[in-house]
Structure 1
């Protein structure tokens, strides 16, 4: 299984070596307004809602390797489609298939890595491995963000052409993965379909697990809204072109890579719960302050938000993998991703319309207060329920 870990590092780098990452909004705005972009985002996310759990079940039952291979090949074809796109309906079709490709990858790589380590009796090293994967992924984002901005400046279609070629090559690399034997029993499709409800059942098995799930969903939704719509639009509002936006986000990604390497130490010193407090403060603070600051402080807030997301993702991954059994792990991770995307899926058009009528920084301020309200409500709700629940130390011990 050592080869799986090596390939996971390579594929983690390539999967996030995503050249359109800092320029996709500039590309879309050549043909669309923010309201139309909101519709596209809603279509993509609603497609993800339809695809996430079934593809997670597919990964659990048919194999994580197959899901990863399919993801790369499909994503590569979609990128070539984007390179030639220019009309609204075409972007809709491409975003649907992009959602399907993302869904095949979501949760599959993490689950394959964890089971590979477990098969070798090295699951305790998962935190270190996933931190390395996060660091490598952030380096990929840094490189692609900076280069993507300049590629777009010289020829606006080139980031998508290069991306499509790279993902096709990655599909062939992924063929070298080996499916772990743990929980490798083959199920009938009838049994697999029943797994659609397994993720939600695991994530809400008791009040302690349910509270962690709700917190992850609230924070995950905030990070997702920022990455999908607010981040680049804020940079654009500050007057940045594709090159400066690429540099700004590239700085955030490389800082995230460095922070990821310290994650095992931070988790050991402070525990998952305290780390969640920190990332929540950074995330919400970046939203609330954006309305009142200029380009320099605003850029610092964007970089801080991006940097804190690596701690959030590592914490979420570690807690969920320890709480959920291998049989339903990929399904549960996919379900959690789905739930985090749901607020954006429902509100995408309205968020885009709000930006058209006001500004992305006004939207950030509003989202920050909504998140504070949601966190307070969940704390009040679960406080009394957990107090009287038997065996209420489970999640605390997972920290």
Structure 2
């Protein structure tokens, strides 16, 4: 398959992967179907736990079995999840939908990055990974922005219509994945079994100083962006009193800006760590400002976080893919996602406790402290390497 055809399919996959209209109103859907807020919180917590359990094993399965087939099944399971919600009116049926969505998400997480990198390496274009991945990330975020706008509008007419479109989009993803070429790992897994491959991938992940550094960054800075973007709408409403119509437009704009930054992130890949470290320090500082501010300047500050989010997602993936062996690529990428999930649960629960007790703006300040502490620790560790500890982890 030519690079041009591959790029078209990859971009289509990324666009429709998160072109999910119900994302704009999923919590409102749950409430409308009779769930209580505490039940929604339990569903989200269980979703995260299931994702943690499946994340790394699914990556190892992709390395051992077939990455293309995993991508196809990812779309099928996502479609089943949203189709289940279409008929759900109880906690347990919604949970079943989350089970399908977790399987679908874990089958694509790590697998897609590994598949794309090995395709590029097969064509001797692996140096363009950041550019290609950034373009795909940009289209994915644009798809989210459009879906959120459409989902909010269509939900005023029918939640069922929103769910139908949400279930159809993953089916498009499955069809696109079927059209992708088979790409085997550049380095064969030989006769190694699933568990052997899993152990080997995890061992490499935690014995490589560069990978550990990325995992730590992802588990603090990247998680900060992921958790807080869920609460931006609440912050803007409670602190600034902005109407929901404006907040929806602003959120879509923020996602669009993040997508543009992801698109161009490859241009600074040669200074990835310098940029990432600057982003960490600036992020921690402005989150402290968010905790103290109650002006319209918050709109600009949150938009800056969207810019950082777009850059960080691409640059960290580029570093990871260059550091790992082909036959364990999906496994180790999933280890990074595993770290992110664990950190998101811990920091997310801490944020929820602080925000509920002291106010959501103080919760943002909490994340500012976390990121600044990470930046200080990163500086110390760079000056005082912990080689002995790394050798112990790798043994």
TM norm structure 1 = 0.86
Within-5 A mapping of 1:1-399: 1=1, 2=3, 3-30=5-32, 31-32=34-35, 35-183=38-186, 185=188, 191-227=193-229, 229-237=230-238, 238-239=240-241, 243-268=245-270, 271-294=271-294, 296-346=296-346, 348=348, 351-352=351-352, 354-385=354-385
Confirm or deny: 8 A CA contact 1:221 1:343 kept in the other structure.
Answer: yes
- The 1-side partners of 2:368 and 2:250 are apart by 22
Gapped regions of structure 1 (runs ≥ 5): 391-399
Confirm or deny: 8 A CA contact 2:131 2:264 kept in the other structure.
Answer: no
Confirm or deny: 8 A CA contact 1:61 1:185 kept in the other structure.
Answer: no
- The 1-side partners of 2:59 and 2:325 are apart by 14
- CA shift, 1:11, in A, is 0.4
Gapped regions of structure 2 (runs ≥ 5): 391-395
Confirm or deny: 8 A CA contact 2:219 2:344 kept in the other structure.
Answer: no
What per-residue deviation string (whole Å, max 9, x for no partner) do you get for residues 243-284 of structure 1? 43331211012112222232222334xx01121023324533
- CA shift, 1:354, in A, is 4.7
For residues 154 and 281 of structure 1, do their structure 2 counterparts lie closer, same or farther at Cα, with a shift above 3 Å needed? farther
2:393 paired residue number: none
Stretch moving more, 271-280 or 321-330: 271-280
Q: Secondary structure at the match of 2:231?
A: helix
For residues 332 and 141 of structure 1, do their structure 2 counterparts lie closer, same or farther at Cα, with a shift above 3 Å needed? same
- CA shift, 1:35, in A, is 4.5
- CA RMSD, aligned part only? 2.8
Q: Secondary structure at the match of 2:179?
A: coil
- CA shift, 1:356, in A, is 4.4
- CA shift, 1:133, in A, is 1.0
- The 2-side partners of 1:303 and 1:267 are apart by 22
- The 2-side partners of 1:4 and 1:110 are apart by 14
- The 2-side partners of 1:245 and 1:299 are apart by 10
- CA shift, 1:76, in A, is 0.8
- The 1-side partners of 2:171 and 2:324 are apart by 32
What per-residue deviation string (whole Å, max 9, x for no partner) do you get for residues 97-132 of structure 1? 222211111121221111111111121222221121
Q: Secondary structure at the match of 1:126?
A: helix
For residues 287 and 35 of structure 1, do their structure 2 counterparts lie closer, same or farther at Cα, with a shift above 3 Å needed? farther
Confirm or deny: 8 A CA contact 1:73 1:168 kept in the other structure.
Answer: yes
- The 1-side partners of 2:124 and 2:339 are apart by 32
For residues 263 and 168 of structure 1, do their structure 2 counterparts lie closer, same or farther at Cα, with a shift above 3 Å needed? same
Structure 1 runs of 4+ aligned residues shifted over 6 Å read 387-390
- The 1-side partners of 2:201 and 2:243 are apart by 42
Q: Secondary structure at the match of 2:385?
A: helix
For residues 299 and 37 of structure 1, do their structure 2 counterparts lie closer, same or farther at Cα, with a shift above 3 Å needed? farther
For residues 281 and 153 of structure 1, do their structure 2 counterparts lie closer, same or farther at Cα, with a shift above 3 Å needed? farther
Stretch moving more, 201-210 or 351-360: 351-360
- CA shift, 1:296, in A, is 3.0
Stretch moving more, 169-178 or 356-365: 356-365
